[in-house]
């Protein structure tokens, strides 16, 4: 079940980036819902808010490890639908930006991420970024509500009936 949001999210991210790269010039801004939303095409070598622009290769390593952990959770731990959907969306976001890091200019492992969604007084981001942020919010909610990642967690946490402290002689019929 996690593969559906993973594939759909990844494809939407990559298709929107392709459309932006093919139809806009870098630095170009197109009003969508002025003044709230613009498409503003930039290439980001860093992380959120362009942090760490000189360390692109570190983000590539971190994203590769993070994708591995999320895929491990999907394959071997997660069994409940909310967790599968959440982790699938998270994997889609990580994979979308990792694809940019691996295969976009200026080169393998140091590629710049295509960002294009611009809101006033906020960072410029993309679909993958949105998937990551929304998924992490969902993870926090799932953890705070105590929803188990798999069906066995509830059984593992079932209360144990206390042992009887009365001796058979003291029990009246």
Write the pLDDT tens digit of every residue in 105-125. 999 999 999 999 999 999 899
Give percent of the chain with pLDDT exceeding 70: 87
Catalytic site includes residue 115: yes
pLDDT, residue 171, reads: 55
- HSE-CB at 5 with a 13 A cutoff on CA atoms is 23
Edge-to-edge, what's the strand order for the sheet holding 37-44?
A: 29-33, 37-44, 113-118, 124-125
CA-based max dimension of the chain: 89
- The continuous run of DSSP H or E covering 41 comes out as strand 37-44
Q: What's the whole-number mean pLDDT along residues 14-31?
A: 98
pLDDT per residue as tens digits for the range 25-83: 999 999 999 999 999 999 999 887 677 888 889 999 999 999 999 999 999 999 999 99
Distance from C-alpha of 88 to C-alpha of 144, rounded to nearest angstrom: 20
Bridge partners for 44 per DSSP: 113
Please, are residues 60 and 36 in contact by the beta-carbon 8 Å criterion? no
User: Which residue in 115, 151, 156, 173 is the catalytic one?
Assistant: 115
pLDDT higher than 50, residue 153? no
Catalytic site includes residue 129: yes
3-class DSSP state of 54: coil
pLDDT, residue 168, reads: 56
């Amino acid at each position: 079940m996690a593969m559906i949001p993973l594939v759909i999210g990844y494809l939407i991210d990559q298709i929107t980036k392709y459309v932006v790269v093919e139809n806009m010039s870098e630095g170009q801004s197109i009003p969508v819902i002025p003044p709230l939303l613009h498409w503003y095409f930039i290439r980001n070598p860093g992380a959120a808010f362009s942090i760490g622009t000189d360390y692109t290769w570190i983000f590539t390593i971190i994203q590769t490890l993070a994708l591995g952990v999320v895929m491990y959770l999907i394959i071997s731990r997660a069994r409940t639908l909310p967790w599968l959907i959440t982790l699938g969306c998270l994997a889609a976001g990580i994979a979308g930006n990792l694809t940019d890091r691996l295969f976009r200019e200026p080169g393998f492992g140091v590629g710049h991420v295509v960002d294009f969604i611009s809101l006033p007084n906020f960072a410029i981001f993309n679909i993958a970024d949105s998937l990551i942020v929304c998924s992490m919010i969902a993870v926090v909610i799932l953890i705070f509500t105590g929803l188990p990642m798999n069906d066995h967690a509830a059984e593992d946490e079932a209360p144990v009936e206390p042992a009887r402290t009365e001796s058979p002689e003291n029990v009246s019929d």
